[in-house]
Structure formats: structure tokens, C-alpha cells
Amino acid sequence: MKEEHAQKIAEQWLTHAAETAGQKDLKGHMGMISKRVRVEGVPGFDNIDYDIWYKQCRHQFENAMIKSIAYKGFNLVSSKDTQIVFTVFEMVVGADGTLNEQIVEMSLDKEDDDQWRLVLERVLIENDAMRNHEISK
């Protein structure tokens, strides 16, 4: 797969992920996550799987805890016909005014139904890359 095509697919996935979270669309958001998903590097958790992610999103969406999610600094790591790996800077603004910023590595797989879904997310903690603080008012 050409790098430009892989980047376009990944960026569309990121846009849709941010939109579904912003709209509190649990079904749409979780439809982008593989049942095989694994999240690593989140402080306080050994590993987050699909069920934990679902419960967390349901809680956050039902209680309107997320104001917005945005991504910048896309960097393609590798791409194949059925897998795209990239890093990106993620910013999650909470309804309570907190801002969580972190660099994450994501791996999308093209699954049997031809949908691209997240199968692995690793929070990369390097040189204070992960910060959680109040937004300046």
C-alpha cells in the first residue's frame, strides 16, 4: 500500500473516531474498535481490552465527560495491505476542563468485513510526552 493511501485511511479513521466520541455515538465509536483490541501503557491498567473500553466509553458518553478529542502530528510507521501502524499526538478535553495529552501508537487492521479497526493502541510515555492538566482559562 502506498504511504499516501495509508495516511488517508488512518486520518479518516482518526476523524471518525473523534466525531463519534464528540457525538457520544457509542455504537458508531465501538464499531471502529476491533473485538481483539489491546491498549497498553495506560497508568493504572495492565491491559485494556474491548469490554473494558466499551464500559469506559459508555460511562463517559452517558455522563457527557468528554468535550472533544483531536489529533495532530500524524507519523506513519508502517503499512501493508491489511495493517497500518502510526503515531499521533492525542488531545482529549474533558467536560471538567482537564486536558489529557499523549503520544499514542495505533495499529489499524483491515478486518474480514473490509472495515479498518483499531487492534492495538500503545501510550508512549517519553520525556513527559503524557501530560494531564487544567486548560488555561
pLDDT value, residue 29:
96
The reported pLDDT for the residue numbered 125 is 67
Instruction: Give pLDDT tens digits for 32-66.
Output: 999 999 999 887 777 899 999 999 999 999 999 99
134 has which bridge partners? Answer: 98
pLDDT tens digits, residue range 92-131? 999 998 998 999 999 999 999 999 999 999 998 654 444 4
Residue 109: per-residue pLDDT:
98
Half-sphere exposure of 69 (CA within 13 A, CB side): 22
Number of domains in the chain: 1
Q: Where in the sequence is the domain holding 128, given as residue range(s)?
A: 3-134
User: CA 94, CA 42: separation in Å to the nearest integer?
Assistant: 17
Residue 126: predicted pLDDT = 54
Give pLDDT, residue 60.
93
pTM for the structure as a whole? 0.86
